[in-house]
Amino acid sequence: MTQITLGSTGIVSDRNAFGALPIQRVNMESAVGILRKAFDGGITFFDTSRVYSDSEEKIGRAFHGIREKIIIATKTRADTPEKFWRDLETSLTVLRTDYIDIYQFHWPGVCYKSGDGTGMYECMLEAKKLGKIRHIGLTNHKLDIAQECIDSGLYETLQFPFSYLSSDKEISLVEKCKRANMGFIAMKALSGGLITDSAAAYAFMSQYDNVLPIWGIQRESELVEFLSYIDNPPLMTEERKAYIEQERKELTGDFCRGCGYCMPCPVGIEINTCARMSLLIRRSPSKNHLTPKAQELMKKVEDCLECGKCKTRCPYSLDTPGLLKKNYEDYKKILTGEVKIN
């Protein structure tokens, strides 16, 4: 068993934490079953958000009666005090609890601080004073906001994308959090589905003793895989190092992580799939991406208005319309057989 302590919060969790975004996609009964199985297998940390539709409700149902045995981290996208309190009360109700262990600002456009005029950080302080939340955190995809969050000294945890595809900048962020005694919660540890070897992903994480990865789990088979790591944590071997090096060469750079923050698109292009089709089709069974439905999805790229809205919203500063075009051209060549894939 490998335990992580989340900085000054003192919260201890196994390196396997549960990211509850994907359980939105399964029905209540299956989700409750997966969550309970996760708990029975040794997972005690569950991360969700007010904006993950019924994810909080599913957690509330699964753990009613054993609340004190688990850690709940949830988030609010509120940008006014009024919305903050509404979100917090709703979360408490659907989670069936009277406190949240870590309450996080969910991907705010600025790092809220005391006295900045928004009143947002003051809401966190008040909620903490009232015992409704125990620790204050922030999640983001932007390095400058993450840096500001650490420098402010006002937050106990930072949640940020981190995987073996991350750059030195993200690694510095992890180290900076450690120096500041802040917990680092790693999202997108499988980089939105592009990393397919979870043992290699886990072994990479195990090099950082202050990083808690929240694995996005939807299926029982995925859960079984992660639960097996509690007793048998994958180690960083020479073979895994070489594999990760190879993966980094193939994937680091201007590639779409599938986060979907650039959406919605005014003409309905499913950007988070289409802008990374070239990778998906080569890294997962290609037949799933060649169905008539998938072809229709890709054909939509022809409708792009070049309005640039997606580009301004992409946290990785990608040239999204350009990526879409590039992926569509490649896809067409695969369809005609001009480009061969396995």
Q: Which residues bind ligand SF4 (CB under 6 A)?
A: 256-262, 265-267, 269, 271-272, 275, 304-310, 314, 316, 318, 320-321, 324
The minimum distance between CB 8 and ligand SF4, in angstroms, equals 31
- In this structure, what token pair is assigned to residue 310? 């997606």
Between 99 and 261, CB nearer to ligand SF4: 261
* Partners of residue 158 on adjacent β-strands: 138, 184
Sign of CA dihedral 180, 236, 43, 75: positive
Between 38 and 274, CB nearer to ligand SF4: 274
The minimum distance between CB 192 and ligand SF4, in angstroms, equals 8
Between 70 and 304, CB nearer to ligand SF4: 304
The minimum distance between CB 162 and ligand SF4, in angstroms, equals 15
- Collapsing DSSP to helix, strand or coil, 85 comes out as helix
Residue with tokens 């969550």: 35
Between 31 and 310, CB nearer to ligand SF4: 310
Of 22, 84, 31, residue with least CA distance to 57: 31
The minimum distance between CB 155 and ligand SF4, in angstroms, equals 24
Between 11 and 265, CB nearer to ligand SF4: 265
CB 160 within 8 A of CB 139: yes
Between 110 and 267, CB nearer to ligand SF4: 267
- Collapsing DSSP to helix, strand or coil, 147 comes out as helix
* Partners of residue 187 on adjacent β-strands: 161
Cβ neighbourhood burial of 165 (10 Å; 0-12, 13-18, 19+): buried
The minimum distance between CB 323 and ligand SF4, in angstroms, equals 6
Quick count: other Cβ atoms within 10 Å of Cβ 279? 19
Write down how long the chain is: 342
The minimum distance between CB 171 and ligand SF4, in angstroms, equals 20
CB 272 within 8 A of CB 260: yes
